[in-house]
Structure 1
Amino acid sequence: MRRRAVLTAGALAAALALTGCSASAADSDSKAARLSVSSPYMPQPVSADMAAGFLTITNEGGAGDELTSVSSDVAGQVTMHSTTGGAMAEESSFRIPAHGRLVFRSGGNHLMFEQLKRAPKQGQTVSVKLTFAKSGPLTVEMPVKSATYNPSTGH
């Protein structure tokens, strides 16, 4: 009987220790950024050397992160821009708050694909690599839509 009590106590202690590890692992995961991308698209470029790109980055984690660079095999460089009060400015990075979003949309923050190596056509996709200060990079397949595409109507 004493042996069973010792075994039971040992098993209980082991279970509690594992539960403690699981809880601390979950706590540390919730304090990290958890990034995902939605609604990516590129309007078919009307210029031979430049195009724009739009997407939303959502952070469901408990820590913020920062988008530090964007690259694509279709362009010599991809720059990030903000638009405030009609004035466009190139940005070196964008913050993505914990439990928040970073939105790139027409008339606001946007990506500029410069020095195009080929002209993306409607129906094709463009591969885009997003690099962050803390999280690993994300590669996104960005569909090329019509030059007049409006995401709110789907046309």
Structure 2
Amino acid sequence: MNEEQLLHFFQRIDKLTLDQKPLFGKMNVHQMVCHCADFFRMAKGIKLAEEYGKVDPEEIKSLARLGKTAPAPKGFGQVEGNGTKPTEFGKDKLILKDFILEFSRLPEDYNFAIHPYFGKLTHKRWTGLAIYHLNHHLGQFKV
């Protein structure tokens, strides 16, 4: 992620307010912020999924190409209560921004955790997923 992308994501996160309603999905805006932070916890191996290799990666790619929501990996569902619990909205937004910044500074040879759907991914693939995931969920709340 380059500096321009970082700034753009940070500006969009700063526009989030607790009263925003989603265009799709069941998460509220605060849950979404924690869900996005969990993506980076997953990438670093801080938070692990409950199962790996049980979902066909082609199914996930197909849903994404169709603009449909893919299921969260088991153990990451905010609505189901498996994601990181929201605390204070402003603090949770700062945590997300810190994770994004830290992720953007990881070296090309960083040893990422295994993705529950896609397995071992390169730095480039993890970055592509991070950008896609953030765009998807920030767009979910019209920012």
User: TM-score when scaled to structure 2?
Assistant: 0.30
User: TM-score when scaled to structure 1?
Assistant: 0.28
Higher relative contact order (CA 8 A, sep 6+): 2
Structure 1 or 2: more helix by fraction:
2
Who wins on radius of gyration, i.e. which is larger? Answer: 1
